[in-house]
C-alpha cells in the first residue's frame, strides 16, 4: 500500500516512527501518531517492520549479553622497582626519539656495566666508589712532598682504598722523578770525586773548553752544596765573560 493522505493527516516521517518505537515522543505527538496508525495500513506495516527488527536485537541483547557477568578489571598500581625503572627508561627513550636517546641508552648501559664490573672486582673490600670519598683521600696527599713522605702518603691512601686503583702498600716505591733526581746527584758527586782524584773523565780531557766547563761545574756544585744561589748567578756572569 502506498503512502498517502489520510483523515489523520500525512504519514509521519521516519524520525517520528523510531521516536514512537522508543517512547521518546511527547504525549501529543504520540496520540497524533496513534490516530494515524489506526487509519494507515502503510504506516502499520512500516512500524511492524522496525518493531520486529528492534525486538530481535532486544531479544538477542537480553539472551547473549544481559546475564553475561562483567569481568573484573585490575589496574596494576604497584609494580616492582626494577620494572618501574625499566619502564621509565623505555618511556623516556620512546619520548625522546632519535640519536639523543640512542646515545643516552649507550651511556646508561656502559655506566651500569662498569659499575657492576667494579663492584665485582672490589667485592672483597668494603671500598666505596663514591667520588667524594675518593677526593677526601686525595686531599690527604700534599702537593709538594719530599722523598721522605711517601710512606705517610701511602698510609693515608690505604685508610680509604678507592676506585682510582691506589692499593695499600707497606713499602713505598719512589716515583720516577725522585729516582732521576737522586741519580743526577750521584752523578755530580761522582764527577767531583773524579775531579779531586784526577780520575780521567769521559770524552776529551785535553779540550780547553771542556776543562773550563768542568772546573766551573765543579765550583758550581760545591757552591750549590753550600746553598748559595747568588754565587751561581755570578758564575754564570763569569762564564759569559769571554776573557775568563
Partner 1 sequence: MIYKDLSDEKLVKLAIDNDREAFAEIMRRWERKIFALCFGMLGREDDAGDAAQEAFIAAYRNLKNFRGEAKISSWLHRIAVNQCLTIKRRQRTRSEDHLDDNSDAESRVFVASPAYSPGRITEQDERLRLVRQAVGALPVELRQVVVMKEFEEMTFQEISETLELPLSTVKSRLYTALKQLKMRLERTPIEVV
Q: Which residues bind partner 1 (CB under 8 A)?
A: 1, 14-15, 17-19, 21-24, 34, 37-38, 41, 44-45, 47-66
Toward partner 1, which CB reaches closer, 61 or 79? Answer: 61
Toward partner 1, which CB reaches closer, 44 or 104? Answer: 44
Give the nearest distance from C-beta 73 to partner 1 in angstroms.
18
Toward partner 1, which CB reaches closer, 56 or 222? Answer: 56
Q: Taking a C-beta distance cutoff of 8 angstroms, is the pair 156, 139 a contact? A: no
- CA–CA gap between residue 19 and residue 25 (Å, rounded): 6
Toward partner 1, which CB reaches closer, 28 or 229? Answer: 28
Give the nearest distance from C-beta 6 to partner 1 in angstroms.
13
Give the nearest distance from C-beta 92 to partner 1 in angstroms.
36
| Three-state secondary structure of 43-64 | HHHHHHHHHHHHHHHHHHHHHH
Count of alpha carbons within 13 Å of 103, Cβ hemisphere only? 4
Residue 72: strand, helix, or coil: coil
Q: Which three cell numbers stand for residue 120?
A: 665485582
- CA–CA gap between residue 48 and residue 141 (Å, rounded): 101
Give the nearest distance from C-beta 74 to partner 1 in angstroms.
24
Toward partner 1, which CB reaches closer, 50 or 141? Answer: 50
Give the nearest distance from C-beta 112 to partner 1 in angstroms.
49
239: left (phi over 0), alpha (psi -120 to 50) or beta: alpha
Toward partner 1, which CB reaches closer, 67 or 229? Answer: 67
Using CA of residue 79, residue 80, residue 81, residue 83, what is the dihedral sign?
negative
Give the nearest distance from C-beta 63 to partner 1 in angstroms.
6
- Neighbouring CB atoms inside 10 A of 110's CB total 10
Using CA of residue 167, residue 171, residue 172, residue 176, what is the dihedral sign?
negative
Amino acid at each position: 500500500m502506498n503512502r498517502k493522505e489520510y483523515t489523520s493527516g500525512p504519514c509521519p516521517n521516519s524520525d517520528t516512527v523510531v521516536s514512537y518505537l522508543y517512547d521518546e515522543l511527547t504525549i501529543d505527538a504520540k496520540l497524533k501518531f496513534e490516530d494515524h496508525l489506526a487509519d494507515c495500513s502503510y504506516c502499520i506495516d512500516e512500524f511492524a517492520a522496525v518493531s520486529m527488527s528492534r525486538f530481535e536485537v532486544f531479544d538477542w541483547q537480553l539472551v547473549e549479553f544481559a546475564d553475561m557477568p562483567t569481568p573484573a578489571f585490575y589496574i596494576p598500581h604497584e609494580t616492582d622497582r626494577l620494572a618501574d625503572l625499566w619502564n621509565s627508561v623505555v618511556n623516556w627513550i620512546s619520548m625522546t626519539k632519535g640519536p639523543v636517546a640512542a646515545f643516552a641508552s649507550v651511556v646508561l648501559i656502559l655506566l651500569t656495566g662498569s659499575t657492576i664490573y667494579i663492584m665485582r672486582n672490589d667485592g672483597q673490600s668494603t671500598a666505596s666508589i663514591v667520588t667524594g670519598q675518593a677526593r677526601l683521600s686525595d686531599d690527604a696527599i700534599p702537593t709538594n712532598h719530599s722523598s721522605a713522605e711517601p710512606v705517610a702518603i701511602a698510609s693515608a691512601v690505604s685508610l680509604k682504598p678507592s676506585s682510582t686503583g691506589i692499593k695499600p702498600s707497606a713499602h713505598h716505591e719512589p716515583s720516577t722523578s725522585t729516582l732521576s733526581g737522586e741519580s743526577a746527584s750521584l752523578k755530580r758527586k761522582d764527577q767531583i770525586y773524579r775531579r779531586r782524584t784526577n780520575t780521567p773523565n769521559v770524552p776529551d780531557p785535553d779540550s780547553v773548553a771542556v776543562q773550563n766547563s768542568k772546573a766551573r761545574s765543579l765550583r758550581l756544585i760545591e757552591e750549590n752544596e753550600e746553598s748559595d744561589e747568588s754565587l751561581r748567578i755570578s758564575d754564570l756572569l763569569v762564564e759569559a765573560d769571554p776573557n775568563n
